[in-house]
């Protein structure tokens, strides 16, 4: 199967405008993301943006980059625009604010997603080790069934531990990592769906898929990543590099 990685990037982020171009150590964040993705076993990696500044910066470090419509409401819609103009069976949506998403994590997702023909989408999750992550609305939590398919995603700490004395459940919360794999037809189906009630409430587009009966395979990894959602996260990223 031909697997295409797409990194959707916009400049007008609500919480951190222009974050893709902010330098982390010696490189802009988007360059970190692109260079890690290029080391994965993808047939092609493309940056998709609607901003001339990001376009020129990406060209400057040798990336393949395309200009997309400024009307897109989400990164997934930007990925779908790229997909319409290129051959590929699997499209991987790699978030442009995840500079520490390792290439082996991308490969792990793809290699576990492709054989499961029942899955429309695939994503990664890891154990939550930090209480601050559990309580932060910027860190999305996920619960899934025994077969690995997602039941729900939330910014709230789910599942809620009602009985604090229950044994064997502590440490069983999972953090959703910012990467998706889509089968081509599922990608096109998803972007045609109307925004859902739960999606609007949580501001999480993957809930649109669940509300419409699409199946999201959650693949557990021991590796972690750090998304940069606001200026405070940049300080965490600098500390991550030091460690």
pLDDT at 168 over 70: no
Local confidence band at 105 (pLDDT 50, 70, 90 cut-offs)? very high
- In this structure, what token pair is assigned to residue 138? 């910027």
Q: How far apart are CA 222 and CA 62, in angstroms?
A: 31
Local confidence band at 167 (pLDDT 50, 70, 90 cut-offs)? low
Does domain 3-230 match CATH 3.40.50.1370? no
Contact 58, 47 (CB under 8 A): yes
DSSP E strand boundaries for 14-84: 23-24, 27-28, 44-49, 65-67
Q: Which residue has the tokens 């009966």?
A: 213
Contact 109, 181 (CB under 8 A): yes
Q: How far apart are CA 37 and CA 41, in angstroms?
A: 8
pTM: 0.93
Average pLDDT over residues 127-142: 92
Local confidence band at 170 (pLDDT 50, 70, 90 cut-offs)? low
- In this structure, what token pair is assigned to residue 164? 């604090």
- In this structure, what token pair is assigned to residue 170? 């502590």
pLDDT tens-digit map of 44-57: 999 999 999 999 99
Contact 143, 218 (CB under 8 A): no
Contact 155, 140 (CB under 8 A): yes
């Amino acid at each position: 199967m031909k697997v295409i990685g797409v990194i959707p990037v916009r400049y007008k982020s609500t919480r951190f405008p222009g974050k893709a171009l902010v330098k982390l150590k010696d490189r802009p964040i988007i360059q970190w993301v692109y260079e890690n993705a290029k080391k994965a076993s993808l047939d092609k990696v493309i940056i998709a943006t609607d901003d001339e500044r990001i376009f020129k910066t990406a060209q400057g470090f040798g990336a393949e980059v395309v200009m997309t419509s400024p009307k897109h409401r989400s990164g997934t819609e930007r990925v779908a625009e790229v997909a319409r103009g290129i051959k590929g069976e699997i499209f991987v949506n790699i978030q442009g604010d995840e500079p520490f998403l390792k290439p082996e994590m991308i490969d792990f997702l793809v290699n576990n997603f492709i054989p499961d023909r029942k899955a429309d989408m695939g994503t990664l999750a890891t154990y939550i080790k930090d209480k601050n992550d559990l309580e932060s609305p910027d860190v999305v939590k996920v619960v899934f069934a025994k077969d690995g398919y997602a039941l729900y995603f939330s910014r709230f700490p789910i599942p809620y531990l009602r009985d604090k004395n229950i044994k064997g459940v502590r440490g069983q919360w999972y953090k959703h990592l910012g990467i998706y794999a889509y089968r081509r037809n599922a990608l096109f189906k998803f972007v045609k769906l109307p925004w859902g009630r739960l999606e609007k409430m949580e501001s999480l587009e993957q809930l649109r898929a669940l509300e419409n009966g699409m199946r999201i395979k959650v693949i557990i990894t021991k590796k972690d990543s750090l998304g940069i959602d606001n200026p405070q996260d940049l300080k965490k990223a600098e500390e991550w590099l030091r460690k």
